[in-house]
Amino acid sequence: MELGQLETFLTIAREKSFSRAAERLYRTQPAVSLALKRLEEELGEVLVDRTTKGGTLTDAGETLLPLAQRMLDLRKQIGDTFGTLKGLQQGRLNIGANESVSEYLLPGVLLAYQQTHPAIRIQAYRQSSERIPTEVLDRRLDIGFVSYDPMHPELQSEVILRDHMVLVVPPGHRFAKRREIKLENLANETFVAHNAVTPTRSAIMDLFSRCQLPLRITMELGSLSTIQEFVSLGAGVAILPRMTVLESLRQGKVVEVVVKDLQVEKLIRIVTRREEALSHAAKAFLKLVRATDFAKNPSPSRRKQP
C-alpha cells in the first residue's frame, strides 16, 4: 500500500468528485481512478460508490477514512520535524487568501519571507473566504487569511489589519472636491460593486437599509481592480477596502470621498489550526506577519514605480 494511494482516496472523499480530486492532485482523472482501483484491489473492498454522483463512500471507505488521515498526518509530522531540525533549509508553506489579501497584502510579505528563507517552497492559493477555514482544518493549508472569525473550536484567528471601507468616485465627479458628504447624498448615485457575497458587502447593504436609502447597484464585477477601472471611466461610484485603492488614489484614477455615516471596518485575520505544533516554516511566516504593519506598509508590488 502506497501513501500516494491513500492521499488520492482522501482527496476523492473530500472533494466528492473524481474530476475535482484530479485537479487538486495535478493528475489526470484516469490516473486518479486507477490509483483508487489499485487500493481497492489491495484491500479487497470497494471504497467509493461510483453509482452516485458525488462519489459517496461505502462503509469500507468510511472505515478507512480516519486511518488514512492518521497515516498522512504522521508523514507530515515526520517531514515537519526533520525540516525544523535542518533550520529552514527545506520545507513547504501552503497559504490561502481571498482576492483582496492575495492582490494587495501578500505580495510584499511573501517577498520578504522568500528573501529570508529562500529554501522554503511557497504555495499561495487564491480562494474564497468561506472555503479557507475548511482547507486549514483539512491540513491542505498551513495558514489562511480571511475577513471574519471562523468561530471553530479547532481554529484560532487573530486580527492583523483593521482596514475600512471607503467611497471612491471618478476625478470629475461632483463629490470629488467635497471634503465630506452624508450617506443620504448617495441616494441617487449608481454603484459598481463586487459580485462576491462578503461580510462587508452585507454590512453596507444593511447600513443603507437601516437608513432607508436605496443602494443602486447597476454593475457587479468579479475583480477589485476592474471595479476601480470602471469607476475611473465614470461608470459609477464604489465602496471598497481602502487598502485596495491606494495605488489608484496615487495615480489620480479615482478620488476618495469621506462619507460621514460610513463606518464599516474590514478586518483581516490570519487563521491557523489550534493545539497543533506548526512547522518551523509556518512559525517563521507567522512571526513575519505579526511584525509587519500592514496599515503603513502597502505591498511593494502595488507601489508606483519611479
Condensed to tens digits (0 to 9), the pLDDT of residues 235-277 reads: 999 999 999 999 999 999 999 999 998 999 989 999 998 766 6
Average pLDDT estimate for 11-32: 88
Distance between CA atoms of residues 239 and 268, nearest Å = 17
pLDDT value at 24 more than 50: yes
pLDDT value at 303 more than 50: no
124/54: higher pLDDT: 124
Q: What is the pLDDT of residue 86?
A: 58
Q: Which of 60-74, 250-264, 280-294 has the highest mean pLDDT?
A: 250-264
Beta bridge partners of 155: 273
Q: What is the pLDDT of residue 298?
A: 52
Does the domain spanning 88-161+267-302 belong to CATH 3.40.50.300?
Answer: no
pLDDT value at 14 more than 90: no
Confidence of residue 302 (pLDDT cuts 50, 70, 90): very low
**Going by C-beta distance under 8 Å and a sequence separation of 6 or more, which residues neighbour residue 60?**
43, 45, 46, 47
- Nearest to residue 145, comparing CAs of 96, 198, 94? 96
Distance between CA atoms of residues 306 and 141, nearest Å = 36
Segment (H or E) for 181 = strand 180-181
Q: What is the pLDDT of residues 168-223, one digit of tens each?
A: 999 999 999 998 999 999 999 999 999 888 888 999 999 999 999 999 999 999 89
Q: What is the pLDDT of residue 301?
A: 42
**Contact criterion met (CB below 8 Å) for 166 and 242:** yes
Dihedral sign of CA atoms 269, 273, 278, 282 in order: negative
**Contact criterion met (CB below 8 Å) for 282 and 143:** yes
Pick the CATH number of 3-84 from 3.30.1300.10, 3.10.50.40, 3.40.50.970, 1.10.10.10: 1.10.10.10
How many alpha carbons fall within 13 Å on the CB side of residue 192?
Answer: 22
Q: What is the pLDDT of residue 258?
A: 95
- Nearest to residue 194, comparing CAs of 158, 161, 223, 225? 223
Q: What is the pLDDT of residues 118-129, one digit of tens each?
A: 888 899 998 888
Distance between CA atoms of residues 34 and 28, nearest Å = 10
155/90: higher pLDDT: 155
The CATH 3.40.190.10 domain(s) of the chain lie at 88-161+267-302, 163-265
pLDDT mean across residues, the chain: 87
Q: What are phi and psi of 206, to 5 degrees?
A: -65, -40
Under CATH, which number does the domain 163-265 receive? 3.40.190.10
The three cell numbers locating residue 152: 471553530
b/e per residue 244-276 (b: at least 16 CB within 10 A):
bbbbbeeeebbbbbebeebebebbbbbbbbeee
Instruction: Return the SS3 of 227.
Output: helix
Q: What is the pLDDT of residues 71-91, one digit of tens each?
A: 888 887 777 666 654 556 667
Q: What is the pLDDT of residues 91-120, one digit of tens each?
A: 789 999 988 899 889 999 999 999 998 888
pLDDT value at 1 more than 70: yes
Q: What is the pLDDT of residue 277?
A: 65
Confidence of residue 281 (pLDDT cuts 50, 70, 90): confident
Q: What is the pLDDT of residue 227?
A: 96
